[in-house]
Structure 1
Amino acid sequence: MRATWVKTMKLLSRLKLKTRMILVLGLMALLQTGLLGVFAVQYLHQSLEEQIGERALHVAKTIAAVPQISEAVARGDTDALQPISMLLAKKTQARFVVIGDKNGIRLAHPNLEKVGLSMADDEGDDSALALKQGKGYISKDLGSLGWSMRGKAPVFANNDRDVIGVVSVGYHLDRVDEIISDYRLTLMVVIALSFLLSAIIAVWFANHFKKAIFGLEPEQIARLFDEQKATLESVREGIIAINNKGKITIFNRNAIKTLGLSEDTQLMGRSIEEVLPGSAMLEILKTGKPHFDYEVWLQNHSLIVNRIPLKQGDQITGVVSSFRRKDELDLVSKKLTRIQQYADGLRSQAHEYSNKLHTIAGLIQLDAKNEALAFIGQETQEHQELIRLLLEVVPDPVLAGFFLGKYNRARELGLRLVIDPESKMTELPEYLPREQLVSVLGNLIDNALEATLRHKGAGGKVKVSMTDLGNDLIFEIEDQGAGISLHQQQQIFEKGFTSKTEMGHGIGLHLVKGLLETLGGTIMLEKGEEEGSRFIVYLPKIRKA
């Protein structure tokens, strides 16, 4: 039995959704109408029998109450009772009217051969109950004339106390069987129509349902669900989705980890307000306006958050949010920044040395050997002095290489990057990520070079000084630009703010501000000694807890 059931279920799983729904709804209609039909037939059969029995009892009591009948029974007058019983049976459409005396001997019967014989001879006859108890009753018995519903009533003497006989009126059950057969035929028609209607409803519902699920089969949906779950768990960002009631419908393990929750925490079905009080996802449910790259502070970490509304037509059905710790994104960004800075430095050096080689080649072609040698010696001396200064001031190779690259970049632009010879930066702490440090200094120096070039033109200079005396590392970058107004000083660290007209600016100082907050450092802005601006960066030697 179990093997058959398993085989049937496997067979059903191979069918299309529409076919399955037609079969299921059709079988349900057949089962329901079949059960109701059986109940109705049984109930009708019982009701008809009861009605016929009541009619038989009523006729029997009416006949027994006729004075002429009771007098003839008292006399035992068969000749008088026989024709009367036949006439009454015909008038009442009864199958038979049998009259017996107080001993149960038939005085009248449709079959004359039965007259004079005991009523007890019939199988199932219980006339003795009416004769002894003096009460009428109904019974279904198989008598000498077949199955019938009988109504038996006692015949009383004139004093209405002594039972002197019994009247038995029977109605054959053939008519009941005919009525039940007609109803069975009607029931079969109803069952067929119910199945047809169920099939039509199943087709309509299946088409509507498949439209709602984009024409997919249940097995395809299950496979997509498994794929979605695996995809969510493979994504490094935390992901949470809510429905239009603010209840969480989707989340992944990285969301729980990023939010600092216990690994066995179950978020499904919980309110987003319960998990993240004050979440802006509820605001998006109302406005439908997405949030991209929003920075929020949660669980002592800065997160970069994206929130997008889910729509079905014009109706907002939910919101999905992805988020990731900012320090992870910053790490990638800073690595890219460092690579870009190295590439810029190498490009500047290649460009500068290409020009110098052309100059030397020209001097040789002009047979100006002494000038060529002097030029080579001058270039070698300048680089040797710079390298010697960097080795003394900045023994850290990453930072020294960074300054050398920026020096060459400045020369390519026709500017000078001047490093204060009194500088000293020999105590760089181990905790301080070098890529973050060069990202901060690189953005500040690039801005200084651009400001100096725009305002001063070729020949301008940018000064850099640094010291590690005391508890902080201090870096100063001073340009010869046009300066920064008091109003702009309040906005320069905001994301997207820039005084330049070109696209793609307004990010550098915002990134510097964020990096320094991560490192526990600060930045100050003041007017330069001659003109322009001076940025001062303070970084603690000991990492703050």
Structure 2
Amino acid sequence: MTGVARLRRLVPTSLAGQSVALVAVVMAVIVLVGGTLAALNARAAGDHDARERVTAVATTIAAAPSSAEAILSGAATAQLQPVTESVRRSTGMAFITIMAPDRTRYTHTTPSMIGGKYIGSIDRALAGETFTEVSTGTLGPSVRAITPIRDPDGRIVGLVAAGITQETLTAAWYAQLPLIIGTAAAAAAVALIGLMLLRRRLRRATGGLAPEELRVMYDHHDAVLHAVSEGLIVSETGEPVLINDEARRLLDLPDGDLDVMALPDFLARIAATSGVADGDDPIRDELHVTDNRVLVVNSAPVPGLRGSSVITIRDRTEVQAALGELDSMTRFAEALRSSAHESANRLHTIVTLVEMGRPDDAVRFGTEEFELSQSLIDRITRAVGEPAVAALLLGKTSQAAERGIALTVTDDSEIDAAIPDAVPGVLSPVELITVVGNLVDNALDACDPDDPWVEVTVRNDARTAEVVVADSGPGMDAAAFGRAVRRGYSTKSGGDGAGRGLGLALVSQVVRRHRGSMIAENTYGSVVTVRVDGSPQSTSRAGRSSVMPR
């Protein structure tokens, strides 16, 4: 294996590893630079402190009256040498030299140097200034301060030089290095522990994936969200954090960020409650009706994330319409089979009457049943010009007869067959079948078994559509009727969750679409009235839907 290959193996591939490695390099540079700056600062601080100390010692000795008196008395060495040595030892100075203006030393750390010439700059001191410098003298390089000594008349009679050798300063600086290095090492250790914890958390959050893998996963995730045919909503603590295109289409939501208030009430409720408590059961195939659609909603909590849930939405509008049509065809087929069976009985009766030699009775028996059936067909087709609605009412009449229920289409019924589907505010034949079929089905199921009857009135012209269905049943109270028109609800066995009880909700959907009204009341029976006004002024009553107790 080549050196380059070995080096590549050392480079982390996961996002967590790369992030931590980058931060580790940054932290190492910060610790190294910080330690270096701390060491340099310690050195500079030591030099500054040394200059202040030597200046303080020199000026203190120069200001003492005894210094000038000793020089003027001619016994400077005898009087000042013991004093300067005592001060030097107590202050840690390398040397304290008192000299004459001509550089002749009166005192020195090394007694043999007394009487010799001072090595160093004194011009600024002779001019009356106190200054510091780094200079090399008999003890080696040192930081020193030079200041003048004045007699009571202000004349300069001598000079004081106090200094600390560079070797002493360097030793003091070296003494601080272990603390600086230890602090830097401790900071590096703490940073390393923090980086390990960060790496662990990032690795758990990213699944140990590399940046390229995460990017591919995100691209695939985004493509799936846009391509999936189901609406998808992800919520956290009741707020939607992700809504795909299909969900926006099904719920008629605008683009951009949305809060929970923008969702329909039933979705806001599901988002707020799903996944909040541990062990929440998922919602399976729950039916809900909006203004335009029948939706199937599923919801499941996200494992390990309390308060988070995934909600899926499927459009069942067309499927529900097809199921309604299939149900109508099934019941119609059952009615046809029953009619065929009854016709066979009548035919056997007629044949037997003929064989018995009573043809007149056979003719009378056959024509009475035919005239009665034809009369019903003629009356309904005259009143109801729309063939599909007429067929629906005839089928419901047969179905009711099979169940022993008297279904009556009133003489007030009238449908204009010439009304096109595009007339605003007027029910189309498909919508009329939805309204009439569901209301009649509900009435057939709800009527009183002891006195079963249903009465239907249908009117539809170029301006107004009205459907009135009455039955002998007890009806529902206001609360139950309100739930029924908002979503799938049923008083029959199966309830909400079994996919039943969509009848009134589908009717309410058509009513809201046309800005009409639906009123339930108890008068001569349990009566539900649906009215859609196609006149222009009716459009101002947007969303009107009246609900009264049954």
Aligned equivalents of 1:11 and 1:37: distance in 2?
A: 37
Task: Spell out, residue by residue over 1:270-294, the C-alpha distance to the aligned partner (whole angstroms, 9 max, x if none).
Answer: xx89x99x99979x989x8999999
Aligned equivalents of 1:381 and 1:177: distance in 2?
A: 130
Aligned equivalents of 1:409 and 1:280: distance in 2?
A: 38
- Asked whether 1:142 is paired with 2:136, we answer yes
Q: Is the 8 A contact 1:60 1:151 kept in 2?
A: no
Q: Which residue of 1 aligns with 2:435?
A: 440
Q: CA deviation at 1:533?
A: 5.8
Aligned equivalents of 2:193 and 2:68: distance in 1?
A: 63
Q: Which residue of 2 aligns with 1:189?
A: 182
Q: Is the 8 A contact 2:58 2:147 kept in 1?
A: no
Q: 1:150 to 1:330 in 2, by over 3 A?
A: closer
**What 5-or-longer segments of structure 2 have no aligned partner?**
1-10, 540-550
TM-score of the superposition, structure 1-length normalised? 0.62
Aligned equivalents of 1:279 and 1:355: distance in 2?
A: 48
Q: 1:225 to 1:237 in 2, by over 3 A?
A: same
Q: 1:510 to 1:257 in 2, by over 3 A?
A: closer
Q: 1:501 to 1:55 in 2, by over 3 A?
A: same
Task: Spell out, residue by residue over 1:454-512, the C-alpha distance to the aligned partner (whole angstroms, 9 max, x if none).
Answer: 336xxx77554545579544545465xxx345x85766733359996634376534654
TM-score of the superposition, structure 2-length normalised? 0.62
Q: Which residue of 1 aligns with 2:548?
A: none
Structure 2 matches for 1:110-149, cutoff 5 A?
119=118, 122=119, 125-133=120-128, 136-143=130-137, 145-149=139-143
Q: 1:88 to 1:363 in 2, by over 3 A?
A: same
Greater Cα offset, 180-189 or 398-407: 398-407
Structure 2 matches for 1:260-339, cutoff 5 A?
335-336=321-322, 338-339=324-325
Q: CA deviation at 1:30?
A: 4.8
% same residue: 17
Structure 2 matches for 1:347-426, cutoff 5 A?
347-348=333-334, 351-352=337-338, 355=341, 391-410=381-400, 412-413=402-403, 419=409, 423-426=413-416
- Asked whether 1:203 is paired with 2:196, we answer yes
Q: 1:39 to 1:348 in 2, by over 3 A?
A: farther
Aligned equivalents of 1:521 and 1:100: distance in 2?
A: 117
**What 5-or-longer segments of structure 1 have no aligned partner?**
1-8
Task: Spell out, residue by residue over 1:388-440, the C-alpha distance to the aligned partner (whole angstroms, 9 max, x if none).
Answer: 66554434343234234434534554666555688542244534233332122
Correspondent of 2:48 among 29, 46, 71? 46
Correspondent of 1:170 among 160, 163, 166? 163
Q: CA deviation at 1:130?
A: 2.2
Q: Which residue of 2 aligns with 1:101?
A: 100
Correspondent of 2:146 among 139, 142, 152? 152
Aligned equivalents of 2:267 and 2:325: distance in 1?
A: 36
Q: CA deviation at 1:193?
A: 1.7
Q: Is the 8 A contact 1:59 1:169 kept in 2?
A: no
Matched position secondary structure for 2:42: helix
Aligned equivalents of 1:417 and 1:225: distance in 2?
A: 61
Q: What value does the CA root-mean-square deviation take over the aligned residues? A: 6.4
Q: CA deviation at 1:172?
A: 1.5
Q: 1:101 to 1:56 in 2, by over 3 A?
A: closer
- Asked whether 1:454 is paired with 2:449, we answer yes
Q: 1:99 to 1:417 in 2, by over 3 A?
A: closer
Aligned equivalents of 2:413 and 2:407: distance in 1?
A: 14
- Asked whether 1:344 is paired with 2:330, we answer yes
Matched position secondary structure for 2:177: helix
Aligned equivalents of 1:262 and 1:176: distance in 2?
A: 74
Aligned equivalents of 1:406 and 1:448: distance in 2?
A: 11
Aligned equivalents of 1:452 and 1:218: distance in 2?
A: 67
Q: Which residue of 2 aligns with 1:6?
A: none
Task: Spell out, residue by residue over 1:75-126, the C-alpha distance to the aligned partner (whole angstroms, 9 max, x if none).
Answer: xx9xx8999899789967754555543334567778999988865xx5xx32
Q: Is the 8 A contact 2:150 2:158 kept in 1?
A: yes
Aligned equivalents of 1:91 and 1:510: distance in 2?
A: 104
Correspondent of 2:17 among 3, 15, 18? 15
Number of equivalences? 495
Aligned equivalents of 2:461 and 2:84: distance in 1?
A: 138
Q: Is the 8 A contact 1:85 1:98 kept in 2?
A: no
Aligned equivalents of 2:479 and 2:58: distance in 1?
A: 107
Aligned equivalents of 2:519 and 2:122: distance in 1?
A: 119
Q: Is the 8 A contact 1:149 1:170 kept in 2?
A: yes
Q: Is the 8 A contact 2:407 2:455 kept in 1?
A: yes
Q: CA deviation at 1:142?
A: 3.0
Q: Is the 8 A contact 2:335 2:395 kept in 1?
A: yes
Q: Which residue of 1 aligns with 2:543?
A: none
Q: Is the 8 A contact 1:27 1:195 kept in 2?
A: no
Correspondent of 2:493 among 480, 492, 502? 502
Task: Spell out, residue by residue over 1:139-181, the C-alpha distance to the aligned partner (whole angstroms, 9 max, x if none).
Answer: 3223454311223343556x65433443434331201101111
Matched letter for residue 41 of structure 2: F
Q: CA deviation at 1:331?
A: 5.5
Q: 1:201 to 1:37 in 2, by over 3 A?
A: farther
Q: 1:200 to 1:377 in 2, by over 3 A?
A: farther
Matched position secondary structure for 1:141: strand
Q: Is the 8 A contact 2:384 2:415 kept in 1?
A: yes
